[in-house]
Amino acid sequence: MSTRKPIKLGLSMRYLGYHAAAWRHPEADPGAASKLGHFLRIARTAEAAKLDMLFLADGIGLRTRDEPPGALCRSHQTAELEPLTLLSALAGLTSRIGLVATASTTYNEPFHIARKWASLDHLSGGRAGWNIVTSWSEAEAWNFNRDQHMEYDLRYERAAEFVEVVKGLWDSWEGDALVHDKASGIFFDQSKLHVLDHKGKHFKVRGPLTVARTPQGRPILVQAGASEQGLEIAARSADVVYSASHTLEAARDYYAKLKGRLAKYGRGWDDLKVMPGITYFIGRTQAEAQAKLDQLNELVAPELGLSYLYGQMGDLSGYDLDGPVPEPQDPRIRSMARMALDLARRENLTIRQLYSRIAAGFGGRVVVGTPESIVDDMEEWVAAGAADGFNICPPVLPVGLDDFVELVLPELRRRGMFRTEYEGTTLRENLGVPMPANRYAAARG
């Protein structure tokens, strides 16, 4: 079986990896998440492997809680660098790989985001991407003059308008506006600079943006929401969506539901790439791969492990960790509690085994296997219409990335599923998504 076209691959490089005990791995540097050298090593490895992009998720508050007591001080999800600053540093030290960072529409203004990401696109030669989020935690609200997080529907309503304002600001300058005619003294064609003059429910933004049109027309837009509002934002504007489905059936349904909306906005099926996030434990044999997972699971302190169940199941610290999972105790998120309990009952998991499952990939999908079985899984998802590629979330960095490059990439290439060279110099070219037209130039014909 062969896919019709090569897949796309992104690399999540947050913290020290996506396993809760990543920082305790024998080869990990516990302080690396604050060091440029660590991220530069990862970026250069990923670029040499011809991966499409680096991705930095972000939160603007300490979301991890000390529940149960003793959990917080054991978590490496606590100290990290601001992503745009980091990617700006990496921009001058790499040449082809995409640079995607998260920023919240709830705790920023559109002009901020438009200006910063346009600048990164210029500095990187057309490799910038913005991951659109609304934020979700009270901890973030407390850092921005709020006692509570903005109500859900209002948050997404604001986000939809926010994205449209940013896109409008990115169209301020037509591509050929800057004529730089020394002889006449004309720096730019004033007829090709446009004032947005947006007046909406949430924002009043005049413009124009003080950054020229970027090498990509505008930075790549990335989105990860699965809500109805999030799907609409993605269908209208996103170039890439990071999905979080755990099963092939759910992923296929999500893929069809999202792509089925594209035509409403005049977009083609391939104008948007869906890339599920997956944590891989890779070995030359199945036993070797399982041993890598088991090694990390043994390093998860019970207090930390239980913290991954706290929101779904309540405080389980008084129960036998090697006993059955009890009914949820006043769960914060009932749907997630039911899913966790169903998983535990279906597979007869103990409390320790259940938290180990979640801690292995921060709740995301985890695949344990050989290069052949992992690529079989990838190929099945792509052939089934569930993915256009994958966002790799290594359990430990840079070790997990090295395993992927050394073991999985050769198998992908053997099957003709991944590139050997970049297609272009910009992230947009490498992803194969179209260049957006400048609205003013298009209106003029």
Determine the pLDDT at residue 33: 95
pLDDT beneath 50: ranges in the chain: 1-3
Interval 383-402: pLDDT, tens:
999 999 999 999 999 999 99
Domain chopping of the chain, boundaries? 8-286+361-444, 287-359
Determine the pLDDT at residue 335: 58
Determine the pLDDT at residue 62: 85
**Mean pLDDT across the chain, nearest whole number?**
94
Determine the pLDDT at residue 2: 47
Determine the pLDDT at residue 325: 92
Residue 281: which of 95, 408, 124, 112 has the closest Cα?
408
Q: Measure the CA–CA gap between 101 and 360, rounded to whole angstroms.
A: 23
> What does pTM read for this prediction?
0.94
Answer for the pair 83, 101: CB distance below 8 angstroms, yes or no.
yes
Q: Measure the CA–CA gap between 37 and 22, rounded to whole angstroms.
A: 18
Please tell me the class of the 8-286+361-444 domain: alpha beta
Determine the pLDDT at residue 149: 79
Determine the pLDDT at residue 64: 86
Determine the pLDDT at residue 1: 41
